[in-house]
Chain A
Amino acid sequence: MKANNRDIQLKDIVFSEYPDEGGHFDRFGGMFMAETLMDPVLELAEAYKKYMKNPQFLKDMDRDLAYYVGRPSPLYYAERWSEILGGAKIYLKREDLNHTGAHKVNNTIGQALLAKYMGKKRVIAETGAGQHGVATATVAARFGMKCIVYMGEEDIRRQAINVYRMKLLGAEVISVKSGSRTLKDACNEAIRDWITNVDDTFYIFGTASGPHPYPAMVRDFQSIIGREAREQILEQEGKLPDAIVACVGGGSNAIGLFHPFLEDRNVKIYGVEAAGKGIETGQHAAPLTAEGTKPGVLHGTRTYVMSTEDGQIIETHSVSAGLDYPGVGPEHAWLKDIGRAKYVAINDEEALQGFHDLTRYEGIMPALESSHAVAYATKLAPTMSKDQTIIVNLSGRGDKDIHTVAAWEGIEI
């Protein structure tokens, strides 16, 4: 294993220098893939580097982000909720207002455009909550590409509406029946598809994890969240926020918000993982927060992975399908190690309360994933003063979760 260079102090780190050429964030990240996929992964890394300097590519992406996705998304001051909490002013970055209802589309537009420039006509994706699957099926329809989405059988049950949305968009949804039948197994199956159809297929990966270049690429596509939020808060408050908060499953919405603030050393950064039924029960999805999680290798990258002493991946638990993942993006693992970001966890019950709070106090229904960030803000805000500000990334809207919320409360719809 690569030695973690503890001699480098946090203050000396230049964040824009990470990852290195091979996709490493110090000891995390890299490329751990079956050999069949190494050539396409290296080809993708080259193509990504090339097209991010191509003015036409960037122009096409900006146009779609503005007119198709509807960017910039607003930064909304949640006045009533902030007053009720009685502490810091809370701003919501409204990624829920994007086309398709979540931040996921920022990334799928970027990757689908890249697929188009690379001449790939078939795209595949994994999905947990279905948001990334919907965002992929959407852009596949937009660009006229064949689209296959892998989804765990358990998630298909939890997210029936999103499954139907994907089908309406022309995607084929394949039910994954192996392992825990959730996001990680959907990833496994998508990787197997890619190994088998390597010549014509582009894997649109949904989170800031996987082999290089995915963690950096997904981060860059999602960083529009943080770039906009930084400008918007300066415009509205005349100063940077004191804290920024986002939920972390794989961690793409979080890294998108965090990255443009990394050099602003006074901005505190909080990543909120899913504590599920409670960290102490072992039934959670919080590799960064749970003590004793070791670095391992999952889905092509070295990062903190929830596994047994023998290295078998542990089945995770969260009420929100989108956070139900035993690994985490390698940049988050690194940010935790160097102490630039703090990772905390919110359990199912607290997340549900966050869902209700925001719905009732602001008329904004957050996705259960985003509700974890909301719930943490309800703890954080009262500890801060009224002249301080927090930005919470509202990564998606909650319509898709209405059935889960109802079932949780014993209500039949």
Chain B
Amino acid sequence: MNRIEKRVTACRESGRKMLIPFITAGDPDLKITLQTMQSMVKAGADMIELGIPFSDPVADGPVIQRACERALLNTVTTKQVVDIVKEFRKTDQETPIIFMGYMNPIEVMGYSKFTTLISEAGVDAVIAVDMTPEESNEYSKAMNAAGLESIYLITPTTPEERIKRIVSLAGGFVYYVSVRGVTGAAELDLNEISAKIKQIKQHTKLPVGVGFGIRDQKSATEIASVSDAVIIGSAIVRIHENLNQTPEQIPAAVSEFITGIRTALDGM
């Protein structure tokens, strides 16, 4: 079993809802990113989603766009993010790490170079926002060869036939995007989400995590009541933004936020 499967199995057996926080790597610098990753694990995160900063993040709302801008202002590169993962792995061999990013940096580096580099550093999976099943042939080969899981998004606009195709390529877990919108957007429609997750589960045994639009304990427990995992991004990135002038406070503030969500999920 790989790291993600182990974690999924352990959570399933103990009835624990998985909590997957997202942060943009290098916002505002890589040292804070490493400390925040460690503090999130202590506070009860089950996996960590690490955003690779990109200049043109079209699926992201303004909060994560600004985080990318802050990271790129410090010219944070993919290779430096990989180095942070290596550092993290020195003390944590268990917590799965998922890279989330866009295709251009991966294309420019080359698929096999990218997958080899990140897998050797201890990354477990990749979410490439603008990679599609239609274009995935060579990409999947490189990912599989490096032992990485490809996590794909399913959205409210994904029809059932397409869900079948996507889950046949997916590994790790299925990422259900809860809203029609970019990250950090709008109100959640619990009935629609619940119905769609039931539909997804008819076609896969993989756990289903839900992201986009979860911001507090209430929305987290609501989503957890119909899914296996909650993914929280913009709400945590906003903490980074608010503490931009005093970045040393970020790891503790994020930890406090995660602890609150963890307690709420465990108390369900």
Interface residues of A (CB under 8 A from B): 1-2, 22, 30-40, 178-179, 184-185, 188, 191-192, 195-199, 294-300, 302, 305, 307, 309-313
* Residue of chain A at shortest CB distance from B166: A35
In the complex, the answer to whether A195 meets B104 with C-beta atoms within 8 Å is: no
Residues on B with beta carbons closer than 8 Å to the beta carbon of A298: 56, 104
Q: A35-B177, A39-B158, A297-B130 are in contact. List 20 more A-B contacts (CB 8 A).
A: A1-B111, A1-B138, A2-B138, A22-B134, A31-B134, A32-B131, A32-B135, A33-B130, A35-B166, A39-B162, A185-B56, A188-B58, A191-B58, A192-B58, A192-B59, A296-B108, A310-B77, A311-B107, A311-B108, A313-B55
| Residue interface bits B124-146, CB-to-A below 8 A is 1, else 0 | 00000111101101100000000
Query: By the criterion CB–CB under 8 Å, are B180 and A179 in contact?
Result: no
Q: Could you tell me if A30 and B135 are in contact, using CB atoms closer than 8 angstroms? A: yes
User: What residue in chain B is nearest A313 (Cβ atoms)?
Assistant: B55
Question: Which residues of B142-179 have CB atoms within 8 Å of chain A's CB atoms?
Answer: 152-159, 162, 166, 177
- Cβ–Cβ contact A310 & B78, under 8 A: yes
Chain A proximity of B84: nearest CB distance (Å):
15
Q: Are B154 and A35 in contact (CB under 8 A)?
A: yes
Interface hub of A22, A188, A197 (most chain B Cβ within 10 A): A188
Contact size class for B?
A: 35 or more
**B185 on interface, CB distance cutoff 8 Å:** yes
Near A by CB (< 8 A), chain B positions 103-129 give 103-111, 129
- Does chain A have a CB within 8 A of B65? yes
Q: Which residue of A lies closest to B72 (CB)?
A: A312
Quick check: is B54 within 8 A (CB to CB) of the other chain?
yes
What residue in chain B is nearest A30 (Cβ atoms)?
B135
Whether A297 contacts B103 by the Cβ 8 Å rule is: yes
- Chain A's closest residue to B66 (CB) is A178
For A309, the chain B residues whose CB sits under 8 A away are 108
Kindly identify which residue among A34, A40, A179, A197 contacts B56, using a CB–CB cutoff of 8 Å. A179
Complexed CA–CA distance, A188 and B182 (Å)? 11
Q: Are A300 and B130 in contact (CB under 8 A)?
A: yes
The 7 closest A-B pairs by CB, nearest first: A311-B105, A311-B108, A297-B103, A34-B59, A36-B155, A312-B55, A35-B153
Known interface pairs A184-B56, A310-B78. Does A35 touch B152 (Cβ–Cβ under 8 Å)?
yes
A295 to B56, CA, bound (A): 16
Cβ contacts B53-65/A at 8 Å (1 or 0 each): 0111111011001
Give Cα A296 to B153, complex, Å.
21
How close is B173's CB to chain A, nearest CB, in angstroms? 15
Could you write out 11 A-B pairs with CB less than 8 Å apart? Answer: A1-B110, A22-B135, A34-B129, A35-B154, A39-B158, A39-B162, A178-B69, A196-B181, A307-B108, A310-B105, A312-B105
**Interface members, chain B 7-61 (any A CB < 8 Å):** 54-59, 61
Bound-state Cα–Cα, A178 to B64, Å: 12
Across the interface, B157 reaches (CB within 8 A) one of A2, A39, A295, A311, namely A39
Write the nearest CB–CB distance from B117 to chain A, whole angstroms.
Answer: 13
